[in-house]
Structures are given as structure tokens and as C-alpha cells.
Amino acid sequence: MNITEALLARKSTRAFLEKEVSQEKIIRLLEAARHAPSGTNAQPWQVAVVTGAKKGELTQAMERSFKEDGIGEMDYQYYPLKWQEPYNRRRVRCGAQLYSTLKIERRDHAARLQQWVANYRAFDAPVILFFFLDPIMKKGSFLDYGMFIQSVMLAALDEGLATCAQAALGQYPQLVKKSLDYSDETILICGMALGYEDPESAVNNYRTPREEIEVFTKFFE
């Protein structure tokens, strides 16, 4: 698989097989991803690999927090406070495509809630990666982190693994940091589900559309 093929093959996977991922595979994909670029080679990423009993304990705690207190607040403002076009149209279409694939009707609030709660279990993937940032770092490190996270996802693909980067896994930052013994001041960027894709699940067999390059590109000569 070449780089272009990998970019086209990567997708957000939301159903995983009950199959453990070896630590050797995780080390190999992080070994590759650590070569991602960063400003002044600061390499601001800090990664927690969570599996087994600790993953079960943590996902149960997040699910419980959601049911008792609702959606938590991330360490930073991920989305705009007020959506505008064309971004609102794209996000609405993304959600509608997901629920349509799962045959969940708009008025079926119970089924929608159940699907949302699956976020906090990392869609039952065997591994969660949590990405942390030192609080002294600024906006530029978020750019670096994006390149690192994409590198993780592409390296995972090369290992035969599937991923889903999830802002939802960053919605209870203090809970996660306490559980994993990270400083309260550390910034939790997001989490990522990691495992083997369930190819039979309908939720893994659709693709969100991408805009044509003419929509977002201008050429100057």
C-alpha cells in the first residue's frame, strides 16, 4: 500500500472485533509516528496506551459521568460556539449518514443515545490511545499534534489495524487524568479507538463525502 492508497483507505471505524492488539504492534506504529514533523522539533506529544482492566474501568467511569451529568467539557474549545455554513451543512450530513446507515430514525431518541454512549467505550475497541499536551505549549503544538495523530492512524493501517480519533474521549479530562495519573494542568487533546475492524458491521461500510479540490483551493501564478 502506497501513501495515497493509505490516505484513501483510512476511515473512522466504529465497530471492532474482540481481538487483542499486541503491544509489539502498538510500539511499531508509535515508532513510525514519532517521526511526524513538529515546529523546532519540539515533539510535544505524550501518549497513554490503555487496555484491559484499566480501559474497562475508565470507559465505565466516562459512561457513568455522561449518564449522570451529561456531556463534559474538554480542556479547550474544539468546535465553534455557533456553526455557520458550509461547516454546519457538512456536520449535519455526517451525522445523518451515520444514523441512516444504522437505520436509526431521527425520532428514536433511545437508539440515538445508545449510539452516542458507545463513544465513551471507544466503540469497544481493545485499545484506547489518549493524547496529552504540556500546558506550556501553545496553538502551534495543536498543528504538530494533528500531523502526529494522522501519522498514528496511517501507521496503524500499515499494521492491519483500524482507528477512530475521538473528541468524545476528551470530554472528561479530569476523570481521565486522575485515572492515568497525569497532572491536572496537562491538556487532554483527544482519544483514539484502536483495534481490528469488524468488516461485517454496517457502520464500517460507508464513507463520508469529501469536497472537490476546487472548493478549497486557489492557484496563483
Q: Specify the pLDDT at position 117.
A: 95
Answer yes or no: pTM beyond 0.75. Answer: yes
DSSP 185: T
Q: Specify the pLDDT at position 23.
A: 98
Q: Specify the pLDDT at position 106.
A: 87
Mean pLDDT by 10 residues, the chain (221 residues): 94 97 98 98 98 98 96 97 97 94 92 94 98 97 98 98 98 98 98 98 95 97 97
Q: How far, in Å, CA of 56 to CA of 183, rounded?
A: 22
Assigned CATH topology for domain 3-216:
NADH Oxidase (3.40.109)
Q: Where are the domains of the chain?
A: 3-216
Helix (H, G, I), strand (E, B) or coil at 166: strand
> Which cell goes with 53?
482492566
Q: What is the DSSP string of 98-149?
A: HHHHTT--TT-HHHHHHHHHGGGGGGG-SEEEEEEE-TT--HHHHHHHHHHH
Separate counts of helices (H) and strands (E) for the chain: 8, 4
